Chains A and B, each alone.
Chain A
């Protein structure tokens, strides 16, 4: 049984003798990516010429395929195969697990004539070229027996129910506490469906080597993809070799496999040659998961001195008819502010929309857009500075379960941010500051996101050149996994960074859970540290037991590792010379991390404070972010550059959520508007002014042996609310229906007589 106390002893990462931990090291795979030579799944060169598959999406949201005419598609020059549900190869029925320990069940494609959502892949055309397959895909003629789609989320709130197995969280007596509070806020916010819009769409290149299926795909988690594909094909798990070396963004959207992988594998098997299948940009919008829309009611009851008596946050959201994903937008509020009377919960309605699922900072990204604006409204009503209001309501322990915080520097983040940003120059009364034609305002919000550690393994090898190779079935979705693993290895083994190789994204490497929920670096890195410590022990024993070594006869525990040299006091030799002589085949050891049994005795979170200054055009209602600062506390930082990139990237997502992004639903068709990147408006360079992220010094010993925590989701949490609050400060208009587009802001300004 592991305890967090087992992590207390010193280790090479904590000692950080070479100073590599925390250093803003350039990306390990950066040169490959910026020269276009990193082979993403679709660009992988197969051993023989590939065929190309193109999928056809359903043109209705719900119903049945009533007619299939593939004659013209089949007759298209260069087309090899056309499949619909009528002639697709056999696959194990949905959810089947022939192997009980598979981490995912069968996910058949083209399973039957049922259409479950608009854009669902309903046909595959494979051709000699992408062009031939694309031309063939346009010639597939399907007719449908369409049912009326049930897709109107705002119109369905009254039939939303508690998600299965969930109950509202109640502490004290919220209705009484709220009613007795002299100052109240009761307002409702709404957020639209959002799409991940990864630069790299979901894509796969698959071929068979004998019985073995070699599948390159773009996926955040290796094992479930490997197992799911094996179950679908009905082959042993070890017969699937799944690889995902380079990934152009995941953001939660690639936590599961899609039909590109299944169909590429089926076609590769049927044709006996490699097959590539990718979603088009338009297909990504419907064919993969999205962040669902929410409606969130926040009720705050406070004393006149600003202390909260009562806090409630209820979220209504939706998921697919056959799914059970819930956007837990109220959850983060359970650990954020003190209040004796509390009520939080979720209501879910199932619709014929495409699948809802996790997207960067699931829960917090939507929820903070409500609660952190409600706090701003409360601060104004009380006449208390928004930073002070949050400080006043800082809980000494977790406000719901009373557990101590492992580490909580929220107030320090807020104060540090206020000082660095020049918050004292903000005028509380909106609409008073102008710069040229622009109305200028400042806003702030708190950030919070949980921290997690999952089980993982990792192997470390040293070869006769003294090169350390890290191997792990981990993924790098653009976050910096390669780089931080290299840093941990170099620091642990006392070798220069250039003497480390990292191999990840492969189902045949020691398993790790992959990237998601900002648990990646902590989980993969802790397993790497363990492997490194085991390799140090093995090398120390080798050196001290080798008569030819100057270290011979010493105590293994006294061996130090630095600059590629192993030493005991002034007796030393290079790591390379030791291995070349004493273990010319090299050494390989594994290490492992498991969550501590007692880790959840502490409330573990990461924290931050966002500060934003916007300009609002009083003529048009256009908003431009002028500058934004985030201050974060997220444990020890492994790499100041990649961590900063993740944090500022998250902040930019917040700006997009506040101002531009969304997929409105056309309820007549059950489809989404904005089906490409010209119409789905993620922020562009010109939308982002001065942007900075600062990371406070912190080590959280309850988190993992390195004392690090995740930053991948944290930057997004609260960022949009800071933008919205700045808009209010600039022009005095609160728009509670995101995104805050010029039409909505203009209506508010006109209503205020502006």
Chain B
């Protein structure tokens, strides 16, 4: 780990101003991902701005019937919130499917969104990785890439985004509220927060340097049932092989791309009256598996069809 300086931010505006003014600054809240990466020197911040104790926690109803979740609310708090459980069960289910109880107690909503990929080659610093060392190559491409992306990958990067929570937020059409150093507040749909790898997999989000996520805003829940299903190698504390979030007619897929994958083709097919099986098949027409991860096609197909069916009480 490289030496770094540390400050505890007093307020959000101070935090973003400090971030803009200090080279190599990073925000830290729960630190459940960042600290691991710092120990391996995959992350090398020169300055940490602790936003974990800012007054950004809390869950409050919005005038339009939606819900605003402060960025430093812990994952466990969100998952157990009565309003979330009653109106956004898919979000609660998704959060509980991620990490472990200890991690969820520590991790925040903002940090969860910005967790980095769990690609094994990203973590092994002796191996090429364009995300970690731009231009060095992608060792996963020809490697043991069973858990690689099937959508939106490039030859520069085939990693997946591994947040469960983000998949549910994508299905719900959530917005991310950010604060810039200028003091300007902005909202971005969750699915637009993330960038596909292209030639620059090291650039992962649409956030500008120093932008701080202050909240996630949920629109009123869509009509229809909600469900989150995740397939994984062990029952807890395991990244997914694939996941699906269903909220009425809105469907998002997880662990299939470097972002939560809103399944627009599936949604359109469902709206046009297709069966869940047909609808997910429409989405998978656009998939590009690599061999070792071919199983994700039938897995996503079966998992999604079952989830859509279960959420909406439809026949397969």
Contact = CB atoms under 8 A, between A and B. Distances in A.
B105 to A, nearest CB: 16
A38 interface: no
Interface in B227-257: 231-239, 241
A39 interface: no
A282 B237 CA distance: 18
Contact of A687 (B1, B123, B143, B235): B235
B199 interface: no
A681 B241 CA distance: 13
A620 B231 contact: yes
A293 to B, nearest CB: 14
Given A59-B126, A679-B118, A77 B3 contact: yes
A674 B120 contact: yes
Contacts of A282: 40
A678 interface: yes
A15 to B, nearest CB: 47
A135 B295 contact: no
B21 interface: no
Nearest to A741: B233
Nearest to A76: B3
B236 A686 contact: yes
Contact of A679 (B41, B123, B236): B123
A135 B120 contact: no
Given A668-B142, A671-B126, A624 B241 contact: no
B23 interface: no
Contacts of A687: 234-236
Given A619-B302, A746-B298, A666 B144 contact: yes
Interface string A661-703: 0001010110101111011010111110000000000000000
B234 A660 contact: yes
Interface string B96-123: 0000100000000000000000101001
Contact of B143 (A437, A666, A676, A686): A666
Contact of B299 (A660, A669, A684, A746): A746
B76 to A, nearest CB: 16
Nearest to A622: B231
| Chain A interface helix/strand/loop/mixed | loop
A138 B233 contact: no
B124 interface: yes
Contacts of A622: 231-232
Nearest to A676: B123
B238 A681 contact: yes
B299 A678 contact: no
A194 to B, nearest CB: 15
A479 to B, nearest CB: 25
A432 interface: no
A561 to B, nearest CB: 49
Contacts of B124: 671, 675
Contacts of B234: 659-660, 681, 683-684, 686-687
A135 to B, nearest CB: 6
Interface in B28-55: 39-41
Interface residues of A, number: 40
A704 interface: no
B1 A135 contact: yes
Contacts of B295: 742-743, 746-747
A624 B235 contact: yes
Nearest to A138: B41
A750 interface: yes
B28 to A, nearest CB: 17
B20 interface: no
A131 interface: yes
Given A666-B144, A743-B295, A681 B127 contact: no
A668 B128 CA distance: 12
A684 B143 contact: no
A603 interface: no
Contacts of B143: 666, 668
Contacts of A59: 126
A683 to B, nearest CB: 6
A134 interface: yes
Nearest to A131: B1
| Chain B interface helix/strand/loop/mixed | loop
B269 interface: no
B268 interface: no
A620 B233 CA distance: 10
B127 to A, nearest CB: 7
B3 A131 contact: yes
A135 B303 contact: no
Interface in B260-310: 295, 298-299, 302-303, 306
A685 B235 CA distance: 8
Contact of B236 (A617, A685, A750): A685
Contacts of A685: 236
Contacts of A668: 139, 142-143
Contact of B241 (A138, A666, A742): A742
A673 B142 CA distance: 14
Contacts of B231: 617, 620-622, 742
B118 A678 contact: yes
Interface in A92-132: 118, 131
Nearest to B103: A678
A731 to B, nearest CB: 14
A57 B68 CA distance: 47
Interface string A743-754: 100110010000
Nearest to B40: A282
B17 interface: no
A402 B292 CA distance: 49
A77 B139 CA distance: 34
A687 B236 CA distance: 7
A138 B2 contact: yes
A134 B241 contact: no
B111 to A, nearest CB: 16
A621 B234 CA distance: 12
B1 A686 contact: no
Contacts of A743: 146, 241, 295, 299
A131 B41 CA distance: 12
Contacts of B233: 659-660, 681, 741-742
A724 to B, nearest CB: 16
Nearest to A675: B124
A699 B24 CA distance: 68
A743 to B, nearest CB: 4
Interface string B175-215: 00000000000000000000000000000000000000000
A131 B100 CA distance: 27
Nearest to B293: A743
Contacts of A742: 231-233, 241, 295, 299
Interface in A484-537: none
A679 B120 CA distance: 8
Contacts of B299: 620-621, 742-743, 746
Q: Pick the most buried of A621, A660, A678, A685: most chain B CB atoms within 10 A of its CB.
A: A678
Q: Which 8 A/B pairs are nearest by Cβ-Cβ distance?
A: A686-B235, A686-B236, A743-B295, A620-B231, A59-B126, A619-B302, A687-B235, A619-B306
Given A659-B234, A679-B118, A684-B234, 16 more contacts: A282-B40, A660-B234, A666-B139, A669-B126, A671-B126, A676-B123, A678-B239, A679-B120, A683-B234, A684-B237, A687-B235, A742-B233, A743-B146, A746-B295, A746-B299, A750-B298
21 contacts: A77-B3, A620-B299, A620-B302, A664-B144, A668-B142, A668-B143, A669-B139, A671-B126, A673-B120, A675-B120, A678-B118, A679-B123, A681-B234, A683-B234, A686-B234, A686-B235, A687-B234, A742-B295, A743-B241, A746-B295, A746-B298
